Chains A and B, each alone.
Chain A
Amino acid sequence: MVPLWMFLVVSAGLFSLGTFGVLSRRNAIAILMGVELMLNAANLNLVAFWRYVNPSEINGQIFAAFVFVVAAAEATVGLALILAIYMKRHTVVAEDVNLLKW
């Protein structure tokens, strides 16, 4: 079995890629993909710590399962918002949606 820190490094890399995607992409759907990458990194961390630290308890897996549900809800609402903006303003570029910008 590989040591725990290798899993954590994969997770850290995935999180950093997600951060870069969220901060730098123009398209709102691409930003949402970055968020999904970050959520996956967090989930991988949860499962890795469950496996290495306390595998006899079931809590780690349950917690990761709840993260799945929240991620699904987040993606649903996010994509609905993007579609609503597209129908009203014909754009999915995040910086063109400046209705609330002062």
Chain B
Amino acid sequence: MELNWQTISFLIFAAMTLGSGFMVVTSRNLFHAVLSLMMSLFGVAGLYVLLVAPFLAAVQVLVYIGAIAILMLFAIMLTRHVMGNREILNDQWMGSAVVAGIVFFGLLLVLTPIGDELGGGFDKFGANLPEDATGDVDYVTVDEIGRALVSQDGFVLPFEVTSLLLTAAMIGAIVVAREDEA
């Protein structure tokens, strides 16, 4: 693995994603947490660009940062000052940290060459992972994605089901969050 611009930008985006992700789960101020969440999602968008998925990167910025994170900001501002002086983490946070650590290091053993070097047959799955992307791919254009979404031998059925899901979610959110007239 030579140190070219791709590797460097990968490391930058990975550090941005994981560092901000850590801030999300640990910062006391929820406002800071949601801003860190935006940074983390932006890092993931950068990783999408590195993976030659520019459409998904744009959707990530528009939908996640532009809509979901802003929605969370609204929710935080509407429910402010309810935490008081209580701790932000609950009583079982140490157990949670242990669970998260087990998940992380288990995945590390299965996925990375570290598992191979420790021996012990961890490489059942990792051995079949491709080392490198095969050459340059053509950019999958928005045009192609749009055609695949509405073509009959493509994804038109999941597309329609998804639109139904969005409508149901919208109506459900309005009904649930509405103030009672009574």
Which residues in A have some Cβ–Cβ distance to B below 8 Å?
1-10, 12-21, 23-27, 29-30, 32-34, 36-37, 40, 43-44, 47-48, 50-53, 55-56, 58, 61-62, 64-66, 68-77, 79-84, 86-87, 90-95
* Assembled-state Cα–Cα distance A26/B84 (Å): 12
CB atoms of A5 and B51 under 8 A apart: no
Q: For A6, list chain B residues within 8 Å (CB).
A: 10, 14
Q: Knowing A24-B89, A26-B87, A71-B68 touch, does A84 contact B176 (C-beta < 8 A)?
A: yes
Q: Which 10 A-B pairs have the closest CB atoms?
A: A23-B96, A21-B25, A73-B169, A80-B173, A16-B104, A24-B93, A12-B107, A20-B100, A24-B96, A80-B177
CB atoms of B34 and A33 under 8 A apart: yes
A51-B137, A76-B71, A84-B177 known, 12 other contacts, Cβ within 8 Å: A1-B132, A15-B104, A17-B21, A17-B22, A29-B75, A30-B88, A33-B37, A43-B44, A48-B51, A62-B149, A73-B166, A84-B176
Which residues in B have some Cβ–Cβ distance to A below 8 Å?
1, 6-7, 10, 14, 17-18, 21-22, 24-25, 30, 33-34, 37, 40-41, 44, 47-48, 51-53, 55-56, 59-60, 63-64, 67-68, 71-72, 74-76, 78-79, 82-83, 86-90, 92-93, 95-97, 99-101, 103-104, 107-108, 111-113, 126, 129-134, 137, 140, 144-145, 148-149, 155, 158, 162, 165-166, 168-170, 172-174, 176-177, 179
Who on chain A is nearest to B148 by CB?
A58
Q: For B131, list chain A residues within 8 Å (CB).
A: 3-4
* Assembled-state Cα–Cα distance A7/B169 (Å): 32
* Assembled-state Cα–Cα distance A20/B169 (Å): 27
Q: For B172, list chain A residues within 8 Å (CB).
A: 77, 80
Q: For B18, list chain A residues within 8 Å (CB).
A: 10, 13-14, 17
